[in-house]
Structure 1
Amino acid sequence: MTQNPPPKSQNPKIETYPSPSKSNPNRQNRENPPQKSQNSKIETNPSPQNARKLPLNQVIKGILFVILIGVLKYSEHFHQNLVLVLHYLYIYLTLENLLAFVTILTRSLSGLDLKPHFNDPYFSSSLQDFWGRRWNLVAHSILRSAVYEPTCDYSAGVIGRLWAPLPAVLGSFLVSGLMHEHMYYCMGRVRPTWEVTWFFVLHGVCLPVEIVLKKALKGRCRLPRVISVPLTFGFIVVTSYWLFFPQFIRCKADVRMIQEHGEFAAFLKNVF
């Protein structure tokens, strides 16, 4: 019995690591779970904070949407500028709640987690931030693969790779404007006035200018978010008042959508 201890002291790494499993199995169980829990967080729940925030944000947006529908029923008593603001909120909340409902339904039925369609667009600090990272990310991905990348590859052979993104951006906005013109025509059967197309063309011109200025300044003279966010949001709102919403109101798309929401709410009330 006195000859056995020296080998243990000579090979402490070999003997001391497996010994807890022999002498005290519960100790090994206490040591291993932290690694397992870390791996499980990475694989199964990459963003637990977002998972807790999404339902609360969605409930708030749903409540605001219901309130907004009730307010818009009396829109004829409001100032025209206020009506346009309400329409801006109405379009955003309609898309946000509808797409969130589709995401939740898909997740519950198939277990798949779809990518978010919006990323708090009211916090955009630039046009590039708004159109590229926050507003309607699904449409952005489709236009990028269908219009932007082919146009960029073709333009690279004509004007070079450095300037190729500029006509590609303009072409993507032009296609988006034509798509919106088609949607407005299908909703109201009203002859296009091309105001919506000009809205997207204007942003398709301003966005490349913004990109060129950023490259020229190379990070210098960057505005703080306290200033850049209101400027970006103000530019989007003003141009929307000027070019986007007039045709939206002219085809009475808002009236039809509110009526459809009322009919759907009455249907749900009768069913449940």
Structure 2
Amino acid sequence: MIHTLYSVLLAISFLALTRVLAKRYVLWPGMLVVLAVVNYLHFTDPPFARMVVICSVLLICMKGIVLAEWGGRLTWPRWFAFTFLWFGMEPPPFAAKPRKLRWKTDAVIGGCCLLVGLSLSIIVAHWETDSILVLFVPLSIGFHYGVLRLLTAFWRLQGIAVRPLFRNPLLSQGLGDFWAKRWNLSFSQMMARAVQRPLVLRLGKRPALFAVFLASGLLHELAITVPVQSGYGLPTLYFVLHGGFVMIEKPAWPLWLRRALALLLVAAPLPILFPPVFTQEVIRFTLNHLQIF
């Protein structure tokens, strides 16, 4: 418990730093130092607990970097809401004046996905399978398309023009479109603002885009392999492979081919992204505990 308190204080201290010192070359190393200390404090914790703490601190630190990169100012209530009560990484909706927005569709879709995801997760928990696709999809439906969509509906009801962070991946126009506009827009927003845009002027558009995939791999190491202390380098390999393919992907290719290749490249190498230890100690652990409810 005391270690968790220390981790929270470290994350809050980093946020305070981003408010007064908006320097990327200071903030990025500072975030890594904070995460290294958090990892040390929780080194003996169970993998699931370590993942939750590390991911929470990483999310909070990245919020600070995004706010510093954005350069604008939020009122303290809006800052608190954006930083701690929303998973997206675009501050402008929280800076704008509230207005009447449609939210019921998001609420219905989110509620249905949450029920379906929970039901499938409880069923899958009883299966004797190590397939990461079978184990991960129900959790994704419940959390990514359920809980987060309900959160979107909540903020839209408050007049904050946030958008769904996960959109139908089956409609992807290709692998580049999947990562940029379909899957985990909070992460793509963060990478675009904090990595791609600063590097475009220095390296050019394509190298900056590849750097986004490399940085994504390294951040996923913190969320996946560090908590379970196994499989180091595999998430980075997953994203480097995807970055390489996005570099050669062409709009002129037939749409059916781009869609098929995108879904294949996302799904087939999932065992690389999620090593076996993570699958058992985190994903299977989560599914097993959902049966309690």
Within 1, Cα distance between the matches of 2:152 and 2:260?
30
- Partner of residue 89, structure 2: none
- Contact kept? 1:193, 1:247, Cα under 8 Å: no
Within 2, Cα distance between the matches of 1:139 and 1:114?
15
Aligned residue among 198, 202, 205 for 2:244? 205
- Contact kept? 2:173, 2:259, Cα under 8 Å: yes
- Partner of residue 268, structure 2: 238
1:153 aligned to 2:201?
yes
1:113 aligned to 2:165?
no
Aligned residue among 64, 74, 78 for 2:126? 74
TM-score, length of structure 1 as denominator length: 0.62
- Contact kept? 2:112, 2:146, Cα under 8 Å: no
Q: 1:236/1:191 Cα in 2 relative to 1: closer, same or farther (>3 Å)?
A: closer
- Partner of residue 98, structure 1: 147
- Contact kept? 2:180, 2:188, Cα under 8 Å: yes
- Contact kept? 1:143, 1:172, Cα under 8 Å: yes
What is the SS of the residue equivalent to 2:166?
Answer: coil
Identity of aligned residues (%): 21
Q: 1:186/1:111 Cα in 2 relative to 1: closer, same or farther (>3 Å)?
A: farther
Aligned residue among 176, 187, 203 for 1:139? 187
- Contact kept? 1:195, 1:247, Cα under 8 Å: no
Larger-Rg structure: 1
- Contact kept? 1:196, 1:244, Cα under 8 Å: yes
Deviant stretches of 4+, over 4 Å: none
TM-score, length of structure 2 as denominator length: 0.58
Q: 1:124/1:88 Cα in 2 relative to 1: closer, same or farther (>3 Å)?
A: farther
- Contact kept? 2:144, 2:166, Cα under 8 Å: no
Q: CA shift at 1:235, angstroms?
A: 2.1
1:182 aligned to 2:185?
no
- Partner of residue 13, structure 1: none
Choose 144-153 or 51-60, whichever is displaced more.
51-60
Q: CA shift at 1:84, angstroms?
A: 2.2
Aligned residue among 163, 178, 186 for 1:130? 178
Aligned residue among 239, 242, 255 for 2:284? 255
Q: Which runs of 5+ in 2 are unaligned?
A: 1-98
Aligned AA (1:191): S
- Contact kept? 1:170, 1:204, Cα under 8 Å: yes
Q: Which runs of 5+ in 1 are unaligned?
A: 1-42, 156-163, 266-272
1:223 aligned to 2:275?
no
- Contact kept? 2:136, 2:283, Cα under 8 Å: no
Superposition RMSD in Å: 2.5
Q: CA shift at 1:171, angstroms?
A: 0.9
Within 2, Cα distance between the matches of 1:96 and 1:206?
26
Aligned residue among 166, 169, 184 for 2:206? 166
Within 2, Cα distance between the matches of 1:146 and 1:90?
31
Within 1, Cα distance between the matches of 2:116 and 2:190?
29
Count how many residue pairs are aligned between Structure 1 and Structure 2.
194
What is the SS of the residue equivalent to 2:268?
Answer: helix
What is the SS of the residue equivalent to 2:163?
Answer: coil
Within 2, Cα distance between the matches of 1:183 and 1:153?
29
Deviations 1:70-116 (A, max 9, x none): 1222232x4x4xx32223413522222232233234345x4323221
Within 2, Cα distance between the matches of 1:149 and 1:61?
34
Larger relative contact order (CA 8 Å, sep ≥ 6): 2
Aligned AA (1:184): I
- Partner of residue 56, structure 1: 108
